Amino acid sequence: MLRPFFDAHVHLNTTSGEKMKMAIGHDAYFLSINTDIPFFPSLEEQENTVHELNQVFNDRAAYICSFDMKRWGKEDWLPTVLKQIQQGIARGAKGVKMWKNIGMDAELRDENGNFLMLDHPVFDPIYEYIRANDLVLIGHQGEPKNCWLPLDEMTVDSDRNYFSAHPEYHMYLNPEYPSYEAQIVARDNVLRRHPKLKFVGLHLFSLEWNLDEVAKRLDDFPETMTDLAERICHVQYQAAKDHNRVKDFFVKYQDRIIYGTDVIDDGSLSAQEVADRLEHLWKFHWDFFATDNTMEAPEFEGKFKGLALPDTVLEKIFYSNAVNTYGVPGV
């Protein structure tokens, strides 16, 4: 594996040290992404956890702050959100995250009773604040396209397993919710309206099913980046069908892609299991991108070859693109 190495999409929600010790052994660094998820600790607790880890492990983990929607509909909602962002940045956050609850939470509706979507004008002051202060907005909007399919038609088992466990996010079961296409259109509308906004479209821009669609967004929105978190199996699935097309994508967009695993350390696994999970994924993903080995993935049937990307491309995807995008110091 590359040294140094950057996993720029994790959720470090416990202070256990095994994952950090393992990372030090690989000269690896983390970007922990605070998220307003109902089953996560509060945003303040997530932030404090990263600070506690860094006090012990010498700033091994940077983090992204976020804001909650608790005050939505109240007069003080916007000032409260901006204050949360300002406090997060003042404490060292490297950007701001907006999550899929905007567009997929039936409790969040606009003045007409419609689902609150990312392109609603109420969010424009937030986007403008982020742009004016030269910050980075990162976004997880919608879900994999598989989310809108029945379980037996999904392309990879990781989605099938997730939506079996979280039917509240399985949109095939919720046809009254905004469509997959509506989620993508709302996100793209924001980027058109705010062309200077620095934006990282997480999870391959929520377009994991077709790298050509990801490429269109990278072409259309030059201030954007994307990350690979929890979507590499979709890349492998496409590589099994058209290896050269996938390899060409990573070579062409080598300056715009950031590696991440989306591993969640929430106490459901032991500290050693989390460390082992991270190390396994790092090595498995590295083999896919760095070698031409014939491989198999647990998420789907069939074999595929690794991409054997040039060293210069690997260095960008697994390290320097994250450093340059998030301005991480001391790394």
Residues 310 and 42: their CA atoms lie apart, in Å, by: 41
Query: Using 50, 70 and 90 to split pLDDT, how confident is the model at 327?
Result: confident
State both tokens at 26.
């690989």
What's phi and psi for 30, nearest 5 deg? Answer: -120, 150
Q: What is the arithmetic mean of pLDDT over 81-105?
A: 96
pLDDT of residue 328: 77
**Residue 16's pLDDT is what?**
97
Q: 331 pLDDT exceeds 50?
A: no
Residue range 160-219, pLDDT digits in tens:
999 999 888 899 999 999 999 999 999 999 999 999 999 999 999 999 999 999 999 999
Residue 116, token pair as written in the block = 């609150």
Range 172-176 contact pairs with CB under 8 angstroms and sequence separation of 24 or more: 172/147, 172/148
What beta strand segments (E) does 75-164 contain? 96-98, 136-139
Q: What 3-state DSSP class applies to 32?
A: strand
**What is the average pLDDT across 148-152?**
96
CB count, 10 Å around CB of 177?
17
What is the pLDDT, as a whole number, of residue 329?
A: 56
Q: Against a cut of 0.85, is the pTM above it?
A: yes
What is the domain partition of the chain in residue ranges?
A: 5-146+178-230+245-281+310-326
Q: Which residues contact 97 (CB under 8 A, 6 or more apart)?
A: 33, 34, 35, 64, 65, 66, 137, 138, 139, 140
Q: What is the pLDDT of residues 271-326, one digit of tens each?
A: 999 999 999 999 999 999 999 999 999 999 999 999 999 999 999 999 999 999 99
Residue linked to tokens 């050693």: 272
Domain 5-146+178-230+245-281+310-326: CATH architecture, name and number where available: Alpha-Beta Barrel (3.20)
